[in-house]
Amino acid sequence: MLAHLKRDLSQLRNPEKAKTLSGFFKTGTGQYGEGDVFLGIPVPEQRKVAKRYRALPLPDLQTLLSSPIHEHRLTALLILVGQYGRADASGKAALFQFYLNNTEHINNWDLVDLSAPKIVGAYLLNKDTSILYHLARSPNLWERRIAMLSTLTFIRHNAFDDALRIAEILLQDAHDLIHKAVGWMLREIGKRDQDVEEHFLGEHYLRMPRTMLRYAIERFDAPKRQFYLASRPRNNR
Protein backbone atom coordinates (compact mmCIF):
# COMPACT_ATOMS: atom_id res chain seq x y z
CA MET A 1 0.00 0.00 0.00
CA LEU A 2 2.83 2.41 0.84
CA ALA A 3 4.52 1.80 -2.52
CA HIS A 4 1.24 2.51 -4.29
CA LEU A 5 0.79 5.78 -2.40
CA LYS A 6 4.28 6.93 -3.29
CA ARG A 7 3.62 5.97 -6.92
CA ASP A 8 0.39 7.98 -6.96
CA LEU A 9 2.16 11.05 -5.58
CA SER A 10 5.03 10.65 -8.02
CA GLN A 11 2.59 10.60 -10.93
CA LEU A 12 1.20 13.94 -9.77
CA ARG A 13 4.56 15.68 -9.59
CA ASN A 14 4.95 19.03 -11.32
CA PRO A 15 8.57 20.21 -11.60
CA GLU A 16 7.64 23.82 -12.36
CA LYS A 17 5.29 23.98 -9.37
CA ALA A 18 7.95 22.27 -7.24
CA LYS A 19 10.40 25.04 -8.07
CA THR A 20 7.87 27.68 -7.04
CA LEU A 21 7.03 25.90 -3.79
CA SER A 22 10.70 25.44 -2.92
CA GLY A 23 11.09 29.21 -2.99
CA PHE A 24 7.83 29.91 -1.20
CA PHE A 25 8.67 27.54 1.66
CA LYS A 26 12.22 28.88 2.01
CA THR A 27 14.27 25.77 1.27
CA GLY A 28 17.55 27.57 0.57
CA THR A 29 20.70 27.27 2.64
CA GLY A 30 20.17 28.75 6.09
CA GLN A 31 16.43 29.24 5.57
CA TYR A 32 13.78 27.66 7.76
CA GLY A 33 12.85 25.01 5.17
CA GLU A 34 16.41 24.09 4.22
CA GLY A 35 16.58 20.60 2.72
CA ASP A 36 12.84 20.26 2.11
CA VAL A 37 12.16 18.58 -1.26
CA PHE A 38 8.98 19.31 -3.20
CA LEU A 39 7.17 17.32 -5.87
CA GLY A 40 4.92 20.26 -6.69
CA ILE A 41 1.53 18.75 -5.80
CA PRO A 42 -1.37 21.02 -4.70
CA VAL A 43 -2.90 20.27 -1.31
CA PRO A 44 -6.33 19.31 -2.75
CA GLU A 45 -4.65 16.58 -4.80
CA GLN A 46 -2.80 15.34 -1.72
CA ARG A 47 -6.12 15.20 0.14
CA LYS A 48 -7.50 12.90 -2.56
CA VAL A 49 -4.50 10.60 -2.20
CA ALA A 50 -4.81 10.67 1.59
CA LYS A 51 -8.46 9.66 1.31
CA ARG A 52 -7.59 6.67 -0.87
CA TYR A 53 -4.99 5.47 1.64
CA ARG A 54 -6.76 6.52 4.81
CA ALA A 55 -6.17 3.13 6.49
CA LEU A 56 -2.39 3.26 6.08
CA PRO A 57 -0.86 1.78 9.26
CA LEU A 58 1.36 3.76 11.60
CA PRO A 59 4.63 2.09 10.54
CA ASP A 60 3.99 3.25 6.96
CA LEU A 61 3.00 6.70 8.17
CA GLN A 62 6.26 6.77 10.10
CA THR A 63 8.13 6.01 6.88
CA LEU A 64 6.35 8.84 5.09
CA LEU A 65 6.99 11.29 7.92
CA SER A 66 10.69 10.42 7.81
CA SER A 67 10.88 11.25 4.10
CA PRO A 68 12.71 14.36 2.87
CA ILE A 69 9.84 14.87 0.40
CA HIS A 70 7.40 17.47 1.64
CA GLU A 71 4.33 15.91 0.05
CA HIS A 72 5.12 12.55 1.66
CA ARG A 73 5.07 14.18 5.07
CA LEU A 74 1.99 16.30 4.43
CA THR A 75 0.02 13.38 3.00
CA ALA A 76 0.98 11.32 6.05
CA LEU A 77 -0.31 14.08 8.32
CA LEU A 78 -3.56 14.39 6.35
CA ILE A 79 -4.07 10.65 6.77
CA LEU A 80 -3.25 10.97 10.48
CA VAL A 81 -5.81 13.76 10.89
CA GLY A 82 -8.45 11.57 9.27
CA GLN A 83 -7.57 8.59 11.42
CA TYR A 84 -7.71 10.74 14.54
CA GLY A 85 -11.19 11.92 13.67
CA ARG A 86 -12.46 8.33 13.31
CA ALA A 87 -10.62 6.85 16.31
CA ASP A 88 -12.04 5.93 19.69
CA ALA A 89 -10.62 7.41 22.90
CA SER A 90 -7.68 5.00 23.16
CA GLY A 91 -6.94 5.38 19.46
CA LYS A 92 -6.92 9.16 19.75
CA ALA A 93 -4.47 8.94 22.64
CA ALA A 94 -2.16 6.71 20.61
CA LEU A 95 -2.29 9.01 17.58
CA PHE A 96 -1.68 12.06 19.75
CA GLN A 97 1.44 10.42 21.19
CA PHE A 98 2.57 9.31 17.73
CA TYR A 99 2.28 12.93 16.59
CA LEU A 100 4.34 14.22 19.51
CA ASN A 101 6.96 11.56 18.85
CA ASN A 102 7.36 12.92 15.31
CA THR A 103 7.55 16.67 15.78
CA GLU A 104 11.03 16.69 14.25
CA HIS A 105 9.40 15.69 10.94
CA ILE A 106 6.53 18.21 11.20
CA ASN A 107 8.96 20.83 10.07
CA ASN A 108 7.33 23.43 7.89
CA TRP A 109 4.52 25.83 8.66
CA ASP A 110 1.86 24.19 6.48
CA LEU A 111 2.58 20.80 8.05
CA VAL A 112 1.98 22.32 11.48
CA ASP A 113 -1.03 24.40 10.54
CA LEU A 114 -2.95 21.60 8.83
CA SER A 115 -2.43 19.09 11.62
CA ALA A 116 -1.70 20.56 15.08
CA PRO A 117 -5.17 22.02 15.79
CA LYS A 118 -6.90 18.83 14.61
CA ILE A 119 -4.75 16.41 16.59
CA VAL A 120 -2.91 18.12 19.44
CA GLY A 121 -5.52 20.80 20.04
CA ALA A 122 -8.42 18.38 19.66
CA TYR A 123 -6.87 15.86 22.04
CA LEU A 124 -5.99 18.40 24.73
CA LEU A 125 -9.36 20.16 24.70
CA ASN A 126 -10.62 19.94 28.30
CA LYS A 127 -7.43 18.08 29.36
CA ASP A 128 -4.15 19.03 31.03
CA THR A 129 -2.37 21.36 28.58
CA SER A 130 1.04 21.46 30.27
CA ILE A 131 2.67 19.80 27.24
CA LEU A 132 1.87 22.94 25.22
CA TYR A 133 3.90 25.09 27.61
CA HIS A 134 6.81 22.68 27.25
CA LEU A 135 6.54 22.94 23.46
CA ALA A 136 6.23 26.73 23.63
CA ARG A 137 9.62 26.91 25.35
CA SER A 138 11.28 24.48 22.96
CA PRO A 139 14.37 25.54 21.00
CA ASN A 140 12.65 23.93 17.99
CA LEU A 141 10.77 26.50 15.90
CA TRP A 142 8.15 24.02 14.77
CA GLU A 143 7.36 22.80 18.28
CA ARG A 144 6.78 26.40 19.32
CA ARG A 145 4.43 26.87 16.36
CA ILE A 146 2.65 23.60 17.23
CA ALA A 147 2.07 24.96 20.73
CA MET A 148 0.53 28.16 19.42
CA LEU A 149 -1.51 26.64 16.59
CA SER A 150 -2.91 23.91 18.80
CA THR A 151 -4.76 26.57 20.77
CA LEU A 152 -6.86 27.36 17.70
CA THR A 153 -9.09 24.45 18.71
CA PHE A 154 -9.55 25.95 22.18
CA ILE A 155 -10.25 29.38 20.72
CA ARG A 156 -12.97 27.92 18.51
CA HIS A 157 -14.58 26.64 21.71
CA ASN A 158 -14.30 30.14 23.25
CA ALA A 159 -11.57 29.03 25.65
CA PHE A 160 -8.83 31.68 25.41
CA ASP A 161 -6.64 31.29 28.50
CA ASP A 162 -4.06 28.88 27.09
CA ALA A 163 -3.75 30.84 23.86
CA LEU A 164 -3.13 34.07 25.75
CA ARG A 165 -0.59 32.49 28.11
CA ILE A 166 1.32 30.87 25.28
CA ALA A 167 1.18 34.10 23.28
CA GLU A 168 2.79 35.83 26.26
CA ILE A 169 5.57 33.20 26.38
CA LEU A 170 6.22 33.72 22.66
CA LEU A 171 5.91 37.51 22.73
CA GLN A 172 9.63 38.11 22.21
CA ASP A 173 10.33 35.08 20.01
CA ALA A 174 12.97 35.82 17.40
CA HIS A 175 11.29 34.10 14.45
CA ASP A 176 8.89 35.75 12.04
CA LEU A 177 6.84 32.53 11.71
CA ILE A 178 6.09 32.68 15.42
CA HIS A 179 5.20 36.37 15.18
CA LYS A 180 2.66 35.48 12.49
CA ALA A 181 1.28 32.51 14.45
CA VAL A 182 0.79 34.50 17.64
CA GLY A 183 -0.79 37.43 15.80
CA TRP A 184 -3.10 35.07 13.95
CA MET A 185 -4.31 33.41 17.16
CA LEU A 186 -4.87 36.80 18.80
CA ARG A 187 -6.92 37.83 15.77
CA GLU A 188 -8.96 34.62 16.10
CA ILE A 189 -9.67 35.50 19.73
CA GLY A 190 -10.71 38.99 18.65
CA LYS A 191 -13.22 37.57 16.19
CA ARG A 192 -15.02 36.03 19.15
CA ASP A 193 -14.33 38.58 21.87
CA GLN A 194 -12.53 41.75 20.85
CA ASP A 195 -12.47 43.00 24.43
CA VAL A 196 -10.33 40.02 25.45
CA GLU A 197 -7.92 40.61 22.59
CA GLU A 198 -7.68 44.33 23.31
CA HIS A 199 -7.04 43.71 26.99
CA PHE A 200 -4.04 41.56 25.98
CA LEU A 201 -2.89 44.17 23.47
CA GLY A 202 -3.21 46.91 26.05
CA GLU A 203 -0.69 45.09 28.23
CA HIS A 204 1.70 43.98 25.51
CA TYR A 205 1.40 45.80 22.18
CA LEU A 206 4.28 48.19 22.83
CA ARG A 207 6.65 45.21 23.10
CA MET A 208 5.18 43.08 20.34
CA PRO A 209 7.08 42.58 17.08
CA ARG A 210 5.46 44.64 14.35
CA THR A 211 4.44 41.61 12.26
CA MET A 212 2.72 40.04 15.26
CA LEU A 213 0.82 43.24 15.97
CA ARG A 214 -0.20 43.70 12.33
CA TYR A 215 -1.63 40.18 12.20
CA ALA A 216 -3.44 40.71 15.51
CA ILE A 217 -5.15 43.97 14.52
CA GLU A 218 -5.91 43.08 10.90
CA ARG A 219 -9.69 43.10 11.46
CA PHE A 220 -9.81 46.32 13.46
CA ASP A 221 -11.12 49.47 11.83
CA ALA A 222 -8.55 51.80 10.27
CA PRO A 223 -8.36 54.39 13.09
CA LYS A 224 -7.83 51.70 15.71
CA ARG A 225 -5.15 49.97 13.62
CA GLN A 226 -3.41 53.30 13.17
CA PHE A 227 -3.54 53.98 16.91
CA TYR A 228 -1.77 50.72 17.77
CA LEU A 229 0.85 51.10 15.06
CA ALA A 230 1.56 54.80 15.61
CA SER A 231 1.92 54.43 19.39
CA ARG A 232 4.81 52.00 19.18
CA PRO A 233 8.49 52.96 19.63
CA ARG A 234 10.11 53.44 16.25
CA ASN A 235 12.96 51.07 17.07
CA ASN A 236 10.65 48.14 17.82
CA ARG A 237 10.82 45.35 15.24
pLDDT digits (tens, 9 = 90+) for 152-193: 999 999 999 999 999 999 999 999 999 999 999 999 999 999
Nearest to 163, CA basis, from 171, 174, 155 = 155
Which amino acid is it at 20?
T
CB distance 81 to 98 below 8 Å: no
Q: Each residue of 103-145: pLDDT tens digit?
A: 999 999 999 999 999 999 999 999 999 999 999 999 999 999 9
Considering the domain 1-114, what is its CATH architecture? Alpha Horseshoe (1.25)
pLDDT of residue 232: 72
Nearest to 200, CA basis, from 218, 173, 227, 182 = 182
CB distance 163 to 185 below 8 Å: yes
Structure-derived torsion over alpha carbons of residues 27, 33, 39, 44, reported in degrees to the nearest 10: -130
Q: Give me the chain's average pLDDT, please.
A: 96
Q: How confident is the model at residue 64 (pLDDT cuts 50, 70, 90)?
A: very high
Whole-model pTM: value is 0.95
In this structure, whether the domain defined by 128-237 belongs to CATH 3.30.750.24 is answered with no
Residue 236 has pLDDT above 90, yes or no: no
- Please give the share of the chain, as a percent, with pLDDT higher than 90: 95
Coil, strand, or helix at residue 6? Answer: helix
Every domain range in the chain assigned CATH 1.25.10.90: 1-114, 128-237
